[in-house]
Amino acid sequence: METAAKLALIPGVHVFRAGIWKPRTRPGSFEGVGTRGLKWLCKAREETGLMLTVEVANPGHVREALDHGIDILWIGARTVVNPFAVQEIGEAIGNPDIPVMIKNPLNPDLKTWVGAIERLNRMGFHKLIAIHRGFSFFNRSLYRNAPMWEIPIELKRLCPALPVLVDPSHICGNRELIPGTIQKALDLEMHGLMIEVHHHPSKALTDKNQQISPDALKTMLASLIIRNESGPPEFESKLEALRSEIDKLDAELLEILARRMNIVEEIGEYKKANRITILQIRRWNQLIHERIENGISLGLSREFLTRLLQAVHEEGIQRQLNVMNTEEKLQPPSHFKIDEHTKSDQDHDPRNQGE
């Protein structure tokens, strides 16, 4: 109640969220207070006017939440990967006017995320909101869940009418990283934020390192730079000229890549004719070292160059594999020749033509 009361005084805060049922990877840790917490939420709404949202993972959760008049439901990262669970939750909600938020899956899988959204949309739900909470992957990172901004950006391209919120708490896992992450979310035209707040973060029963106090939230939101999506005519004119230049360079870049792949295929043909293996590791090591050093000298980052060269190399390997796997017209061994004059009459028998 203390947290809710303080949040209600902060401009821009509209919804109060709480994990009533908290799925944990291993049993034994705090898994939420359960149904009795819904009454506490209703009291918070009554006293603050904030709308309410909770996570639901099964039809039972849905029924309990709707019985208490919860305004918005959300489907968590662990549930969104299960089409059966998403279907059952949608059927349990029933009313397509209930807003539903869908978090991205744990793994960086855009198809699964879009699939859950599509499933609910085809069931008639039209008040859908996506939540970007970052992705788990094997590379070490500053973040608890790597933001991988390219994925929510692609989601916005595929579903331009779909609002996308960002959950910087789960992305960062560390309150110190949250300010920069929420600024970047707004700079990328995300539509809102879901931030974990606790009146005494150090005493939170879950994820205390990523929670902030209401005062910290107020300061953080007040310091955000809200940028315009468009500018005055002279700005738009200059921007269009720069974009036109990029379009020309992209066309040249694609032409160069196509020519490069044609040469790669020619190399594949040459290797095939001489029975040489595709992967030449010494050549690849030399190439990637030289290209990265050259690229860095031109102002490009090592990370970008590594990803770019890896993608180009993988495509080149696939092209050469395709060349290697191309079937040639079978020829009999040189020591075995068929004499057309010695074929038996059976070779001309119509009954044998189907063999």
CATH code for the domain in which residue 286 is found: 1.20.59.10
Pairing relation of β-strands 51-55 and 192-193? unpaired
Nearest to 45 by CA among 37, 56, 35, 34: 37
Considering the domain architecture, whether residues 55 and 31 belong to the same structural domain is answered as yes
Query: Do the domain assignments include residue 34?
Result: yes
pTM above 0.85, yes or no: no
Considering the domain architecture, whether residues 183 and 247 belong to the same structural domain is answered as no
* Residues whose CB is less than 8 angstroms from the CB of residue 166 and which lie 6 or more positions away in sequence, other chains included: 131, 132, 133, 152, 181, 182, 185, 190, 192, 193, 194
Pairing relation of β-strands 128-132 and 100-103? parallel
Residue 43 has pLDDT above 80, yes or no: yes
Query: Do the domain assignments include residue 228?
Result: no
Considering the domain architecture, whether residues 105 and 245 belong to the same structural domain is answered as no
Considering the domain architecture, whether residues 135 and 244 belong to the same structural domain is answered as no
Residues 109-138 have pLDDT tens digits of: 999 999 999 999 999 999 999 999 999 877
Query: Do the domain assignments include residue 197?
Result: yes
Domain holding 84, by residue range, is 2-222
Tokens matching residue 315: 């495509």
Considering the domain architecture, whether residues 75 and 163 belong to the same structural domain is answered as yes
Residue 344 has pLDDT above 70, yes or no: no
Considering the domain architecture, whether residues 126 and 16 belong to the same structural domain is answered as yes
Considering the domain architecture, whether residues 186 and 293 belong to the same structural domain is answered as no
∠ CA 159-161-162, nearest 5°, is 70
Considering the domain architecture, whether residues 40 and 168 belong to the same structural domain is answered as yes
Can you tell me the mean pLDDT for 78-100?
Answer: 96
Can you tell me the mean pLDDT for 273-277?
Answer: 86
Q: Give residue 26's pLDDT band: very low, low, confident or very high (50, 70, 90).
A: confident
Query: Judging by beta carbons within 10 Å of its beta carbon (0-12, 13-18, 19+), is residue 161 exposed, middle or buried?
Result: exposed
Determine what percent of the chain is predicted with pLDDT higher than 90. Answer: 71
pLDDT at res. 354: 38
Contact 190, 132 (CB under 8 A): yes
Considering the domain architecture, whether residues 47 and 158 belong to the same structural domain is answered as yes
pLDDT at res. 23: 74
Exposure class string for 106-124: b at 16+ Cβ within 10 A, else e: bebebebbbbbbebbbebe
**Distance between CA 48 and CA 136 in Å, rounded?**
35
Considering the domain architecture, whether residues 212 and 239 belong to the same structural domain is answered as no
In the block, residue with structure tokens 């009533």 = 20
